[in-house]
Structure 1
Amino acid sequence: MRIGSNPTKANKQLVTSFYHRVIVPVYIPNTEEDYFKEAFPILKYCLQSLLKTVHQKTRVSIINNGCCDDVTTYLKELKTSNVIIDQLLDSDINLGKINAVYSAVKSNVEPLITVTDADVLFLNNWQEAVEKVFIDFPKAGMVAPVPAPVAYKSSFVNSTFYYGFVNRLFKFDTVVNPDALQQFQESIGTQLFKGIHFKKYLILQKREKKAAMGCGHFVVTMRSQVFEKAPPRPSQFKIGGESLKKYIDGPNDAAGYLRLATMDCYARHLGNKEEPWMKPMFDSIVSSDSFGNEQDIDFKVQGISKFSQILGKVGYKLIIRNDFLRRIYFRSKGMNHPEF
C-alpha cells in the first residue's frame, strides 16, 4: 500500500552546489604483511592532507575497497568528523582501482573529478593550480598536479599534439622543481627520467600561460565528460593491465581533450614506506579557505574534432615516434639533446 505522494516528485532535477569531486579508492587488506605494513600511516597523510587543501566547493568520495577492520573503522570515523567527505562506499572485496573509481563517477554530477591513489601527499594550492590550467587551456580534459617530462611519449596525446602543433604552442622550458621530480622517481622505485628531464620539459605556452605536456595518473583531475567515452562494462583487471589505458587515458584523447600538467609539483607520491621527510612536509600544509575558481572555468567546452584527432595521431606517429624527425622538430623548439 502507498499513501500520499512522494515529495521528491516535485523536484526531480539532481543538482549540487559543488563542482569538484575527489575520488580515493583505498585497498589495505591488512597491516601485517611487508607491503602493507606502513600503508595505514601513509593513508592518513594522504587523506588528512587532502582534507586540509581542498577548497569549499569540493566533496570527497572514499571507496573502501576491501580494507581490514582497523582501516575500515578509521574511514568511518573520518567521514563522521568531516563534512567534506560525503560518500564512503564499502565493498567487501577488492573491486580494483578502475571499478572502484567508476562506482563513484557514475553516481555524481560534479563537472571536475580528481582521481587519486591513496598514497599521495597533497600540497597547498594544488587544486587552484590544476583548475588554473583548465582556465588557461579550456580544451584541457586531464590535468595532473605533477608534471612528467617523458609523458609526451604517451600513446594517448594525439589530441594534445595536434592542438599544440597546429597552434604553435610547443616549446621547451626550464623545469620548475627538479628536486620534486627526483623525489617522485625515487618513490616509484623506477628510473623514469634521465638527466636532461630534470632540467627541461616540453610545454604548451600561450602568451604568459603555461602547462606541461602530458601527465601521469597516480593523481589527475578530469572533466566528467571524459568518462562518457569509457567502455560501458567493468574492467576485468584489478590494477594495471589495459584498465588505465581503456578507462582513463584513451577516453580523454577520444573526447578530443588535452592531457596536461601543472608546471610545478603540487603533490608528492608517498609509496608504501614512511620516510623522515614526510611529516615535516605534512606539518607545513595549512588549511585552505578558498572557494575555488567556479566562475572562471568553462565546463561545457568541446574537444577538438574527430578529423583533427586523426591528423594528430598521424602527425604524432610521423614526428614524435620517428627519432630523426623528432630531433629535427625538437631542435627547432630549442632542444638538442639525444635523450629527448
Structure 2
Amino acid sequence: MRVGSNPSKTNFTIEIDSTHRVILSVYIPNLEEAYFKDSQTIFKYCIESLVNTVHSKTRISIVINGCCQEISDMIYDYQKKYPIIDQIFYTKENLGKINAIYSIVKSNLEPLLTISDADVMFLPNWQKEVETVFVDFPEAGMVSPVPSSKGFLFSTASTLYYGLFKGKIKFQNVKDPEGLINFQKSVGSNLYQKIHLEKYLVVSNGVAEAVVGCGHFVATFRKQVFEAAPTKVCKFRVQNNSEEDYLDDPNDMSGFLRLATLGNFAYHMGNSPHPWMKEKLQETLIDTSITTPLEIPDPISFSKSQYKIGKFLSRLLFHKFRRQFFSHLGVNEPY
C-alpha cells in the first residue's frame, strides 16, 4: 500500500534550465575488427572535444547502442567526470541510429537538439556559430557547423523558395576549403571538384548569410522539426533513406530552412586517428571563448504551399536547368 501522496501530483509542470541538448549514438561492438580497432580513440576525441566547447546551458545524452563492454565502461566513466552528460541510454542490441536518437528526441524539452555521429571533432565556437544562424534566420530548422558545397541538393525545397522570394541566393567564395578537403578525406572519396572548393551556394536575408543545405553527420535541429517526423519505428539501422525520412525531410516539409555556417567548425574524423586530431583537441582545451547561450527566437513557420512550390522549383533549378541557373548566378563551370 502507498503511504502519503506523490509530490509530482502537486508539482507536475516540467521545467528545465538547459537550452541545447547534444545527442550521440555510439555503436562500437568490438575493438578487434579492422573497421572498429581505433574507434575508442576516435570516440575519445569526439566526446572530449564536445565537453570542452559547449556552454553551461547544454546537456549531453549518449546512447550505448550495441557497444562492447570497454566502450560502455568508458561512457559511464565520462558521465561521472562530466555532469553535463546527464543521460545515458543503454541497449544491448544495435537499434539503428534513428531509433536510438529518437528515444531521446521525443523525451526531452530543450528547444535545440544537436544530433551527431560519434566520430565528430567539435571545434571552438561551433555552438555559438550554429546558434547565431538560428538567431539571424528564425526560419531555420536545421543548421550544421560543417558547410558542404553539395548540400543544396538534398531536402532544400523550402530553403530555395526562401532564397528566391524572401531573401537572396548567390554563390560566394568558400570561407574554409580545408574543411571540405578534410571531410572528403575522412570518407575516403573524392566528393568535390575544384569549383566546389572555391564556391558554395549562400542565402542572405539582408542581416546575415548562411550556406544552403548541409549534411546530417552533425546538425542542430529545432525541436519543432520532429513534430512532422514519421511516427513508425524505423526498420533500418542505417541507409535506405532512413536519415532523410526521419531528419531531413521533416525539416523541409515543415517549411524550415536547411543551412550551414559559412566557416567550418567541426570535422568528420572517420575511423582512423591522425596527428592533427590531437592538435585540434588541444585547441579545445585551451579555448577561452565559450560564451553564454544565445536567446533563440521562436520559429517562423511557412505554409505547406511554399514547400510544394519550392519542391517544383528545385527540380527545375537544381536539377533539370542547373547549369543555366548557376550560370545566371555567376558560376559557368559544371557544378
Structure 2-normalised TM-score?
0.97
Is structure 2 residue 91 aligned with structure 1 residue 94?
no
- Could you tell me how far apart the structure 2 residues matched to 1:151 and 1:306 are? 22
What secondary structure does 2:172 align onto?
strand
What secondary structure does 1:93 align onto?
coil
Native 8 Å contact 2:167 2:206 kept in 1: no
In the alignment, which residue of structure 2 is the partner of 1:306? Answer: 304
Q: Which of these residues, 317, 329, 333, is aligned with residue 333 of structure 1?
A: 329
In the alignment, which residue of structure 2 is the partner of 1:184? Answer: 183
What secondary structure does 1:143 align onto?
strand
- Could you tell me how far apart the structure 2 residues matched to 1:164 and 1:39 are? 40
In the alignment, which residue of structure 1 is the partner of 2:269? Answer: 270
Q: How far does the alpha carbon of each residue in 1:36-82 deviate from its partner, in whole angstroms, 9 at most, with x for none?
A: 00000000000000000011110000000011111111111110111
In the alignment, which residue of structure 1 is the partner of 2:110? Answer: 110
Written as runs of structure 1 = structure 2, the 5 A alignment for 1:259-298 is: 259-285=258-284, 286-287=286-287, 289-294=290-295, 297-298=296-297
- Could you tell me how far apart the structure 2 residues matched to 1:180 and 1:127 are? 17
In the alignment, which residue of structure 1 is the partner of 2:209? Answer: 210
- Could you tell me how far apart the structure 2 residues matched to 1:106 and 1:206 are? 32
- Could you tell me how far apart the structure 2 residues matched to 1:222 and 1:192 are? 25
What secondary structure does 1:41 align onto?
helix
In the alignment, which residue of structure 1 is the partner of 2:317? Answer: 319
In the alignment, which residue of structure 2 is the partner of 1:199? Answer: 198
What secondary structure does 1:83 align onto?
coil
Is structure 2 residue 136 aligned with structure 1 residue 136?
yes
> In the TM superposition, what is the alpha-carbon distance from 1:318 to its structure 2 partner?
1.9
> In the TM superposition, what is the alpha-carbon distance from 1:148 to its structure 2 partner?
0.6
Native 8 Å contact 2:28 2:36 kept in 1: yes
What secondary structure does 1:109 align onto?
coil
- Could you tell me how far apart the structure 2 residues matched to 1:93 and 1:303 are? 38
What secondary structure does 1:315 align onto?
helix
In the alignment, which residue of structure 2 is the partner of 1:237? Answer: 236
- Could you tell me how far apart the structure 1 residues matched to 2:66 and 2:153 are? 35
In the alignment, which residue of structure 2 is the partner of 1:225? Answer: 224
- Could you tell me how far apart the structure 2 residues matched to 1:168 and 1:2 are? 61
Q: How far does the alpha carbon of each residue in 1:220-251 deviate from its partner, in whole angstroms, 9 at most, with x for none?
A: 00001111111111100011112101100110
- After superposition, the CA RMSD in angstroms is 1.1
Native 8 Å contact 2:166 2:205 kept in 1: no
Q: Which amino acid aligns with 1:301?
A: P
- Could you tell me how far apart the structure 1 residues matched to 2:249 and 2:179 are? 27
In the alignment, which residue of structure 2 is the partner of 1:38? Answer: 38
Q: Which amino acid aligns with 1:91?
A: T
> In the TM superposition, what is the alpha-carbon distance from 1:287 to its structure 2 partner?
4.8
What secondary structure does 1:316 align onto?
helix
- Could you tell me how far apart the structure 1 residues matched to 2:148 and 2:83 are? 33
- Could you tell me how far apart the structure 1 residues matched to 2:316 and 2:41 are? 47
Q: How far does the alpha carbon of each residue in 1:203-232 deviate from its partner, in whole angstroms, 9 at most, with x for none?
A: 012235110000000000000111111111
Q: Which amino acid aligns with 2:293?
A: G
- Could you tell me how far apart the structure 1 residues matched to 2:167 and 2:209 are? 13
In the alignment, which residue of structure 1 is the partner of 2:63? Answer: 63
Moved over 6 A (4+): none
Q: Which amino acid aligns with 2:109?
A: V
- Could you tell me how far apart the structure 1 residues matched to 2:221 and 2:198 are? 27
- Could you tell me how far apart the structure 2 residues matched to 1:311 and 1:134 are? 24
- Could you tell me how far apart the structure 2 residues matched to 1:81 and 1:227 are? 31
Q: Which amino acid aligns with 1:36?
A: F
What are the ranges of 5 or more consecutive residues in structure 2 without an aligned counterpart? none
Identity level (%): 46
Q: How far does the alpha carbon of each residue in 1:174-231 deviate from its partner, in whole angstroms, 9 at most, with x for none?
A: 0011112101111011221111000000001223511000000000000011111111
> In the TM superposition, what is the alpha-carbon distance from 1:328 to its structure 2 partner?
2.6
What secondary structure does 1:321 align onto?
helix
In the alignment, which residue of structure 2 is the partner of 1:124? Answer: 124
- Could you tell me how far apart the structure 2 residues matched to 1:208 and 1:106 are? 33
- Could you tell me how far apart the structure 2 residues matched to 1:28 and 1:327 are? 43
> In the TM superposition, what is the alpha-carbon distance from 1:329 to its structure 2 partner?
2.3
Q: Which amino acid aligns with 2:282?
A: D
> In the TM superposition, what is the alpha-carbon distance from 1:128 to its structure 2 partner?
0.4
